[in-house]
Amino acid sequence: MDIIFYHPTFDTGFWLDKLHQALPQARVREWKPGDNDHADYALVWHPPVEMLSGRKTLKAVFALGAGVDSILSQLQKHPDMLPPGVPLYRLEDTGMALQMQEYAVSQVLHWFRRFDDYQVQKQQGVWNPLDDYTREEFTIGILGAGVLGGKVAESLVAWDFPVRCWSRSRKNYPNVESFAGQHELDAFLSGTRVLINLLPNTPETVGIINRQLLDKLADNACVINLARGVHLLEEDLLAALDSGKLKAAMLDVFSREPLPASSPLWTHPRVTITPHVAAVTRPVEAIAYISHTISSLDRGEIPAGQVDLKRGY
């Protein structure tokens, strides 16, 4: 079994060593330009087209992250990059769900307990206990109800918040109200106090968080974007904040990364920024998932995590 590996920023030596330990029967190597030798599996992140193009012996390609939009965008430009019939897998969880839960819960509680308002009062030298919010008025709406969205919903239900989700198909998560399809989007948005975005990046979801959508949220709503920057129209977000429709925004992803120094998001008093760190690939968990999936494929099984190339997730 031959495995080729490419990631522009990961510690390649560490990954190769751990992959050798997990799959001792495999020959694992770092892919470099000009390497056209035999490969059964490819582990990639933002791979060059030449790495995958023409490899008819590939049994599967693994994207080293939860998102696969970089590969899909290349496929649109170079349809022959991935040989027909070769399945594409993404890392469904591998420690990312827990990180997303930590991020979402910590920020929701920050707003719910009004710590943002107390910080403003602190800067003004004001001592003034504020009225508490009630959970009944603090409905959490999650855009995108896949593996990560479901786990985030589960963690917020544990804090007794009203939680709802919206996705392409209806879900059946315990104590989570499910909305599905474009015709139920308005009902999902109505009354939502905190909107958390965990949508996949597809042509249908680009720019979905715009002025029209934000206007349908509850007044003084808050937004957390944990998915992709292209989902959010930053100008519309700033306008909603400045008008008072939105109370705050927590952003981890942006249409341009790193976020340019000239972006007004940096200086807006009600925008909090993190540098795309909400959930990062954990090597130990990722390698365990990849080795298990490869073993399943070699046994002729069809494991979870395969990407529907038409849907984009």
Cα separation, 114 vs 108, whole angstroms: 10
Nearest alpha-carbon partner for 310 in 47, 60, 68: 68
Catalytic residue among 20, 29, 114, 276: 276
CA atoms within 13 A on the CB side of 190: 5
Say how far apart CA 109 and CA 81 lie, in whole Å: 45
- Paired with 297 in beta bridges are none
Active site (annotated) includes residue 276? yes
Tell which residue, 46, 49, 69, 51, has the closest CA to residue 4: 51
CA–CA separation, 86 vs 40, rounded Å? 10
Residue 136 phi/psi, 5-degree rounding, is -60, -30
Nearest alpha carbon to residue 40 among 23, 24, 27? 27
- CA–CA separation, 187 and 27 (whole Å): 53
Contacting residues for 199 by C-beta, under 8 A, at least 6 apart: 143, 144, 205, 208, 227, 228, 231
Query: Residue 82 and residue 312: Cα distance in Å, rounded?
Result: 14
Among the listed residues 7, 228, 299, 311, the single catalytic one is 228
Three-class secondary structure of residue 41 per DSSP: strand
168 is annotated as an active-site residue: no
Rounded CA-CA distance 126/103 in Å is 29
Question: In angstroms, rounded to a whole number, what is the distance separating the alpha carbons of residues 10 and 237?
Answer: 33
Catalytic residue positions? Answer: 228, 276
